[in-house]
């Protein structure tokens, strides 16, 4: 199979590329390297040799995307490229809609020009917004009411995909799948790739940065939530399990159909549980201070993954939090400055 992966130099996209290369496929990566890493591309090239093609280009460059699809004789697209910081989206909403919604439309136009009709979209649980506690766990039928431009921009592109799949009199209908992620963590088991965000906003790598001496402490944003220990609860899925879900979804394309599934382990861990896990794995005290709640942080968010288990046979294998943290820690210890 020949695939084009947008955002393939980023955390999740690079791990997806690695899996495809390990399986013997040819991969074309398109990434503008705004937040992706050339070091990740180098690791992919080492793994895939001449089966890896890298094109430095932006989603807005429809002509570059069209050439990449045509030159690579692409059969399927994995669309990971996006801006993904919730707080930043509140400050720069136009950037988020430009990249996440309009950029996706640019990609669909290029796919239309080249006859590529299969796309898996990296969506997010942020499209659900702030469901009530009684709505846990979140299913695919939970109302999508995003509370920030990040979630809204992703939901808008889901809407675009639905409409494109349903286009009237299309001789070659689009087949689209959206996978709605919860919190993604961990790293490649063989240590070839890991998580390196600039800036880092994810809980597990922040804890590990404290253990490495790169931060003085962790800030726990609020300890008075209606949860067992007062801190927020989230669903953490290992990046390898997430990639497995994408591979499973390749068998589910149907022309003219838009499909969606939640990707999570089906239970949540609190901030304090994650902190305790990081302390156990690293053997470091990881000092923590308590700060004010962050606006828009729901007390609890975790997935009901029953639908994808039923439809595609996918189930998370990495369900032990310490094992997830250990995989991230091993990569970070070997790369204390990330890809720098």
pLDDT digits (tens, 9 = 90+) for 284-303: 999 999 999 987 778 889 99
pLDDT, residue 34, reads: 96
CATH code (residue 70): 3.40.50.720
Distance CA 234, CA 185 (A): 12
Mean pLDDT of 221-229: 94
Mean pLDDT of 193-205: 94
176 and 226 in a single domain? The answer is: no
119 and 220 in a single domain? The answer is: no
176 and 101 in a single domain? The answer is: yes
168 and 55 in a single domain? The answer is: yes
Number of domains in the chain: 2
Distance CA 203, CA 209 (A): 10
226 and 242 in a single domain? The answer is: no
pLDDT, residue 78, reads: 98
CATH code (residue 321): 3.90.25.10
pLDDT, residue 232, reads: 94
Distance CA 155, CA 144 (A): 8
132 and 241 in a single domain? The answer is: yes
Domain span at residue 311 reads 203-234+267-334
Token pair of 338, please? Answer: 């990330």
pLDDT, residue 133, reads: 72
pTM to 2 decimal places: 0.96
153 and 207 in a single domain? The answer is: no
340: exposed, middle or buried (C-beta count within 10 Å: 0-12, 13-18, 19+)?
A: exposed
Domain assignment present for 142: yes
pLDDT, residue 84, reads: 95
Which residue among 150, 181, 236, 339 is the active-site one?
150
Across 26-35, 135-144, 197-206, the highest mean pLDDT is recorded for 26-35
| Residue 96 annotated to the active site | no
276 and 216 in a single domain? The answer is: yes
Least confident range of 129-138, 169-178, 328-337:
129-138
33 and 69 in a single domain? The answer is: yes
Domain assignment present for 195: no
CB 177 within 8 Å of CB 314: no
249 and 287 in a single domain? The answer is: no
Which DSSP string do the residues of 105-174 spell out, in sequence order?
HHHHHHHHHHT--EEEEEEEGGGG-S--GGGPSB-TTS----SSHHHHHHHHHHHHHHHHHT-TT-SS--
89 and 141 in a single domain? The answer is: yes
158 and 300 in a single domain? The answer is: no
């Amino acid at each position: 199979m020949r695939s084009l992966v947008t955002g393939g130099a980023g955390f999740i996209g690079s791990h997806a590329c690695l899996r495809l290369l390990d399986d013997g496929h040819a991969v074309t990566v398109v990434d503008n390297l705004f937040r992706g890493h050339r070091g990740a591309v180098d690791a992919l090239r080492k793994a895939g040799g001449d089966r890896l093609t890298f094109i430095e280009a932006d989603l807005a460059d429809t002509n570059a995307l069209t050439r990449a699809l045509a030159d690579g004789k692409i059969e399927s697209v994995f669309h990971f490229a996006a801006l993904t910081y919730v707080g930043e989206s509140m400050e720069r909403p136009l950037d988020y809609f430009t990249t996440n919604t309009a950029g996706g439309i640019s990609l669909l136009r290029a796919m239309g020009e080249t006859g590529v009709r299969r796309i898996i979209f990296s969506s997010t649980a942020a499209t659900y917004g702030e469901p009530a506690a009684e709505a846990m766990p979140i299913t695919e039928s939970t109302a999508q009411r995003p509370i920030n431009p990040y979630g809204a921009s992703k939901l808008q592109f889901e809407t675009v995909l639905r409409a494109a799949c349903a286009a009237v009199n299309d001789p070659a209908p689009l087949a689209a799948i959206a996978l709605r992620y919860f919190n993604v963590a961990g790293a490649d088991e063989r240590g070839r790739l890991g998580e390196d965000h600039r800036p880092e906003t994810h809980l597990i790598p922040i804890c590990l940065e404290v253990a490495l001496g790169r931060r003085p402490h962790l800030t726990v944003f609020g300890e008075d939530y209606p949860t067992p220990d007062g801190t927020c609860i989230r669903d953490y899925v290992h990046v390898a399990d997430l990639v497995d879900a994408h591979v499973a979804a390749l068998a589910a394309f149907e022309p003219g159909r838009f499909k969606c599934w939640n990707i999570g382990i089906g239970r949540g861990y609190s901030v304090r549980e994650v902190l305790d896990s990081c302390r156990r794995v690293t053997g470091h005290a990881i000092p923590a201070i308590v700060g004010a709640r962050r606006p828009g942080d729901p007390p609890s968010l975790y997935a009901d993954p029953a639908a994808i288990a039923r439809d595609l046979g996918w189930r998370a294998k990495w369900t032990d939090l310490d094992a997830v943290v250990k995989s991230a820690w091993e990569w970070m210890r070997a790369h204390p400055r990330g890809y720098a």
